[in-house]
Amino acid sequence: MAPSADMSDMAALVGRHDWAATLLGARTHWPQSLQTTVDILLAQGFPAALLWGRERIQIYNDAYRSLLGDQHPAALGNSLRGIKSGLCARDEARLRRAWAGHTVTLRNTTWSPARPGQPETARYDLSLSPVRDETGTVAGIMGLLHATSARLPEDRRQERSAVLVAELRHRMLNLLGLVRSMADSAILGSTDLQQFQLRFHDRIDALARVQGWLSRLEAGERVDFEDLLHSELSLAGAWSDLQDRVELQGPRALALRGPTVQALALALHELTTNALKHGAFRQATGHLAVAWRVARSDGRHASPWLQVEWHETGITTARPEGGAPGSGQGRVLIEKVLPYQYQARVRYVIDPHEVRCCLALPLCGPAGR
């Protein structure tokens, strides 16, 4: 199958931009904090822009690009001090407050998109949040816009706020539990602090991408399983370099819900990473087949189930020192964390010449969570 046509235009543009000619320098030299922030930014469904460094170098996503009009693409990678529209047009005092480490929110503020032939003024909620680098110093500002509609009566607004707070609390508890499990599994598979840091950062980056997918869902966008799969394979370089050794088979345009997106994205990341380090993508004779289908409910869940099979062949598996084949922390996350957090069913088998992982989970997410 060809790569998804829904791939973000701005993600592609940022990927091929000549950053070495900008004040940020070559992308390969960016700090990890900037790399991760840009990944989150590009996956946002709401208009979002990042101002990095005291020069306020701007990077933005597809939704924000539509507000820039003829300022795009000149605004990308340039200092905002010379741009007449966008976040630089906001109150300078508020920007300085964000640089000082405070989150600044402007409710129902007017915004005049720089779109040719469309002089209308729209209303948005604008949030300016500090972004910190590896030393804890504020290195940039993230700006998020959300279009507002007619205001709800006070009682309905309070009711809605209470629901949102409860949902946020629920999500945070689940997220903290997941991060703790990821840290525990990374510790078990590491021999020193540096190795733990590399493995844990890799999983945090994957989790950041997951939150980006979830924000797209909340913005009303569709997330399909094939998009998720292509994204993980492409980030690993597997899709562009090894397409002739990858076979994908399953229904297209299979829409996913939030909890399912999170579980699948983490599982696909672990499987892809393992294939790159040890399996089908590392060995010249390796081949990967991924098949997915929707199965009927088993009677215990109202939702149908998504079944995914990841099958690597043409490989020779190795026994890690001091453990059984495939006993690393990636397998622990798939076999232990996913069933607990998402009620997934997992069968993970590593034989001398093949790897097979079968996942099944409710399409509408786990019941009672």
> Does pLDDT of 310 surpass 90?
yes
116 occurs within a structural domain: yes
At 113, the pLDDT band (50, 70, 90 cuts) reads low
**pLDDT for the residue numbered 324:** 44
Q: What is the DSSP secondary structure assignment for residue 27, as one 8-state letter? A: G
At 60, the pLDDT band (50, 70, 90 cuts) reads very high
330 burial (CB, 10 Å; 0-12 / 13-18 / 19+) is buried
User: Which residue type sits at 48?
Assistant: A
Q: Are 222 and 328 members of one domain?
A: yes
Question: Tokens in use for 48?
Answer: 């979002």
Q: Name residue, tokens 């026994």.
A: 319
Choosing from 128, 147, 166, the residue where a domain stops is 147
Could you tell me the CATH number of the domain that includes residue 48? 3.30.450.20
Q: Are 13 and 125 members of one domain?
A: yes
Non-local CB neighbours of 255 within 8 Å, separated by 6+ positions: 222, 223, 224
Give the phi and the psi of residue 335 in degrees, each rounded to 5: -85, -25
SS3 assignment, position 213? helix
Q: Are 86 and 227 members of one domain?
A: no
Name the strands in the sheet holding 305-313, side by side, starting at the edge strand that comes first in the sequence: 246-249, 287-295, 305-313, 354-362, 345-351
Cα dihedral angle (14, 17, 20, 22), rounded to 10 degrees? -80
Q: Are 130 and 218 members of one domain?
A: no
Choosing from 101, 120, 147, the residue where a domain stops is 147
368 occurs within a structural domain: no
**pLDDT for the residue numbered 1:** 35
357 occurs within a structural domain: yes
304 occurs within a structural domain: yes
**pLDDT for the residue numbered 196:** 81
283 burial (CB, 10 Å; 0-12 / 13-18 / 19+) is middle
At 290, the pLDDT band (50, 70, 90 cuts) reads very high
**C-alpha–C-alpha distance, residues 224 and 363, integer Å:** 11
**C-alpha–C-alpha distance, residues 88 and 114, integer Å:** 13
Could you tell me the CATH number of the domain that includes residue 308? 3.30.565.10
Q: Are 353 and 213 members of one domain?
A: yes
At 2, the pLDDT band (50, 70, 90 cuts) reads very low
276 occurs within a structural domain: yes
Q: Which of 272, 194, 286, 189 is nearest to 238 (CA)?
A: 272
Question: What is the mean predicted confidence (pLDDT) over 138-167?
Answer: 66
Higher pLDDT, 218 or 24: 24
> Does pLDDT of 312 surpass 80?
yes
pTM of the model: 0.47
> Does pLDDT of 358 surpass 90?
yes
Q: Are 329 and 215 members of one domain?
A: yes
155 occurs within a structural domain: no
Report how far apart, in Å, the C-alpha atoms of 96 and of each of 75, 87, 89, 90, 92 are: 21, 12, 13, 11, 6
At 4, the pLDDT band (50, 70, 90 cuts) reads very low
Q: Are 24 and 142 members of one domain?
A: yes
Choosing from 94, 128, 147, the residue where a domain stops is 147
Structural domains in the chain (count) = 2
> Does pLDDT of 355 surpass 80?
yes
> Does pLDDT of 177 surpass 70?
no
Q: Are 20 and 141 members of one domain?
A: yes
> Does pLDDT of 281 surpass 60?
yes
Q: Are 332 and 225 members of one domain?
A: yes
Q: Name residue, tokens 């733990």.
A: 196
Q: Are 258 and 351 members of one domain?
A: yes
> Does pLDDT of 366 surpass 70?
no
142 burial (CB, 10 Å; 0-12 / 13-18 / 19+) is buried
306 occurs within a structural domain: yes
Q: Are 29 and 104 members of one domain?
A: yes
Angle, vertex CA 335, rays to CA 329 and CA 341, nearest 5: 105
Domain that holds residue 46: 9-147
110 occurs within a structural domain: yes
